[in-house]
Every structure is written in C-alpha cells, then in structure tokens.
C-alpha cells in the first residue's frame, strides 16, 4: 500500500494524523477535567446545529466514504489475483 503512495501523499497523511491526534488529545483532556455529558437523540440533533460539530461530522463522513471506496477497490484487486 505504501509503495503506491508518493511523498506528497505521505506528508499530507502525516500532517493530518498529527493534527487529528492533537485535537483528540485536547478533547480527551477536556473530558477528563469536566466529564462527558450524556447525549440522547434530541441532544444529538441539537449538537448538529453547532458549526464546529458540523465541520467535524463532515470531515468524518468524507474520510469514511473515501475509506469505504478504497477498501472496495482493494478487495476487487485482491479477488482478481
């Protein structure tokens, strides 16, 4: 898999992963200090009006969609061999 990625792809992936780890660490520190609220269906719907939540959900959905597409392509290549 790494052999088909060029240096620019690896650098971009590394930067994105570093940013993701930094943001996750910050969120986990906030949870450790303040606790995590319990959120039900209506809390989830309310949270979706928050622009920061919308950006994060958009990012997550985009990454998951790309991963699903890539995994499907890789499975086709493996099954053809």
Quote the domain boundaries for residue 21: 1-36
24 & 54 share domain: no
pTM: 0.63
Lowest average pLDDT, out of 5-9, 21-25, 27-31, 64-68, goes to 5-9
45 & 9 share domain: no
25 & 48 share domain: no
43 & 78 share domain: yes
**What tokens does 26 get?**
């910050």
Total domain count for the chain?
2
30 & 3 share domain: yes
Per-residue pLDDT, averaged over 65-75, amounts to 89
Taking only the tens place, the pLDDT of each residue in 54-63 is 999 999 999 9
53 & 81 share domain: yes
Q: What pLDDT score was predicted for residue 3?
A: 58
d(CA 18, CA 11): 11
Higher-confidence residue of 7 and 46: namely 46
φ, ψ of residue 48 to 5 degrees: the values are: -70, -10
23 & 56 share domain: no
User: From residue 16, how far is each of 11, 23, 32, 48 by CA, in Å?
Assistant: 9, 11, 24, 23
């Amino acid at each position: 898999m790494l052999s088909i990625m060029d240096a620019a792809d690896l650098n971009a992936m590394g930067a994105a992963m570093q940013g993701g780890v930094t943001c996750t660490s910050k969120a986990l520190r906030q949870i450790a200090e303040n606790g995590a609220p319990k959120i039900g269906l209506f809390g989830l719907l309310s949270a979706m009006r928050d622009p920061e939540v919308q950006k994060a959900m958009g990012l997550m959905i985009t990454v998951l969609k790309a991963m699903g597409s890539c995994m499907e392509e890789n499975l086709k290549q493996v099954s053809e061999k």
